[in-house]
Amino acid sequence: MSLLTTLHAARRGITVASEGINVVGHNTANATTDGYSRREMTVTTMYPLYRNGSWLGQGPNRASFTRSADSFVDQNMISTTGLQQYSKETYDVLSMVEAKLSDSTPGSILEAYREFTESMRGLSSDPEDPNLRDLVVMYASRFTNSVNEVAEFAVDLKDSLRTDMETSMTHINDKLATIANLNMRIMSTGGSVSAGDLQDQRDLVIRELAEITGATVRFSPDGQANVYMDGHILVQKENYRELQYYEDSSGDPQIAVQTDSGRITVTDALQGRFGGRTTAYAQVDEMLSSLNDWAAQFVSDFNTLHQTGYDQGGNTGLDFFTINAISPASSFSVDAGILADSSTIAVAGAVAASGFPEAGDRDVLDQLIALEDSATYGATGAYTARQELSNIYASVATQVRAAQDNFDLQSMRMEDINELRASISGVNLDEEAVKLMEYQASYEAASRVISVTNRLLAELMEVV
């Protein structure tokens, strides 16, 4: 009877050693797999049998497979992922706008404005010179085109951001459904190796979701993951709620959690790429609004003065610029009459008895040039036209620098968390090699015990 017990104990030893070798192989094969968490096998001693006054050992028993992971570290990794992607997306979008506004870029609004004002000063040297008048019209057209380009870029960018968020909702909700499904499968697999594999898959999906929306997670002791957005549950065990895209009364993009009774808007709490895009969207919208206000005021001020002057034919001045009140910056242009005939530029302050302005009369032109120093722009009315354009650029540039600094900070945090996670969950090939030799030796020893025991049983049967 003791020989049979020994045989069973050795068999268990082979089984446990084989499982250990499988775990080592699994770890080694996934040493470079993104998001993989090292597996550990817990081995305990079987409860001994009491036979004929003696306790007989039954060998080892594989108690469980554990996944080497720290829920606190993983939760922080996911939240930091959302913060990192938020700042990156904000930077990526606004840096494109900054490049369009940059005062050092040829063709920028500030550069075109400078060229236009200089052409006006050039005209003051000889108001009757048709070439100088044509230069004013040319630089005025360049100036309006530069404003149009920035405004149209901002409008197209806003449309693109809205479209991208709307079309991404199906993809996001699929991820929420996948997380819930993996939670259910994890519960059904118990403590097997496959449970850890499913947890790794689920956590990768959660990280992808955090990159997009900035969703956070809480891991429960039973291996379940509950996903939240602004404190509102998105996934709880095998149940989930979808996110919804809609636009408010102003046409601005909004994200909400769907509920049985309606929806809960969570736009302001978004992180990840969506959070970065909504922040960038608001900044672009603010920039466009400021540019519209600037264009409307500039055209009003310039046209009001130009209408008080007289052109070379002795006619009162027409509108020099035209705009559409709905979208001033996008529609900002030189009046068709001015474009067709530069002699209609009204720079004289009066007409003589002949019905024409006197030679060299530039009274209105001087007033138009003086507008450059008029500090009536901005919310406080304390800036000149040039200063307000610089303020618009500076506002975007400040947001870009802040986003870049925040991205650098979150990247450093992510690097630290990755190193910490690697120390907890990463695979050390040297350690796995040592374990492999241990399990191999255990396997060989148990095999030898079986071989010897089998031979002794054979000899015993011959004696009998």
Sheet of 239-240: strand order equals 216-219, 225-229, 232-236, 239-240
Residue 335 is assigned to a structural domain of this protein:
no
270 and 400 part of one domain: yes
Residue 326 is assigned to a structural domain of this protein:
no
Going from the C-alpha of 166 to that of each of 159, 230, 241, 324, the distances in angstroms are 11, 20, 17, 30
Residue 322 is assigned to a structural domain of this protein:
no
142 and 218 part of one domain: yes
pLDDT band at 235, cuts 50/70/90? very high
DSSP reduced 3-state for 189: helix
The angle formed by the CA atoms of residues 276, 152 and 280, to the nearest 5 degrees, is 10
Residue 333 is assigned to a structural domain of this protein:
no
Q: What would the two tokens of residue 191 be?
A: 């403590």
CB 140 within 8 A of CB 320: yes
Going from the C-alpha of 237 to that of each of 65, 177, 217, 311, 352, the distances in angstroms are 22, 11, 12, 78, 89
170 and 215 part of one domain: yes
Q: What residues contact 233, with CB distance under 8 A and at least 6 apart?
A: 226, 227, 241
The residue ranking higher by pLDDT, 130 or 15, is: 130
With 90 as the cut, is the pLDDT of residue 358 above it?
Answer: no
With 70 as the cut, is the pLDDT of residue 55 above it?
Answer: no
Please report, rounded to a whole number, the percentage of residues in the chain having pLDDT higher than 70. 94
Residue 287 is assigned to a structural domain of this protein:
no
The angle formed by the CA atoms of residues 196, 200 and 201, to the nearest 5 degrees, is 120
143 and 18 part of one domain: no
pLDDT at 1: 45
43 and 116 part of one domain: no
Q: What would the two tokens of residue 30 be?
A: 């996934």
CA nearest to 147, candidates 94, 187, 107: 107
pLDDT at 458: 76
With 90 as the cut, is the pLDDT of residue 253 above it?
Answer: yes
- What count of Cα atoms within 13 Å lies in the side-chain half-sphere of residue 146? 24
With 70 as the cut, is the pLDDT of residue 56 above it?
Answer: no
pLDDT in tens, 283-332: 999 999 999 999 999 999 999 999 999 999 998 888 999 999 999 999 99
Residue 291 is assigned to a structural domain of this protein:
no
Number of domains in the chain: 2
404 and 444 part of one domain: no
Residue 51 is assigned to a structural domain of this protein:
yes
18 and 89 part of one domain: no
- What count of Cα atoms within 13 Å lies in the side-chain half-sphere of residue 390? 7
pLDDT band at 192, cuts 50/70/90? low
205 and 106 part of one domain: yes
pLDDT in tens, 396-454: 999 999 999 999 999 999 999 999 988 888 888 988 899 889 888 888 887 887 787 77
124 and 192 part of one domain: yes
The residue ranking higher by pLDDT, 38 or 321, is: 321
34 and 101 part of one domain: no
Mean pLDDT of 86-99: 92
Residue 78's domain spans which residues? 69-278+380-424
Q: Which of the listed ranges 5-14, 60-69, 173-182 does the model predict with the highest average pLDDT?
A: 173-182
Q: 30-39, 61-70, 123-132, 360-369 — which is least confidently predicted?
A: 61-70
Averaged confidence pLDDT in the chain: 88
80 and 26 part of one domain: no
157 and 228 part of one domain: yes
Residue 212 is assigned to a structural domain of this protein:
yes
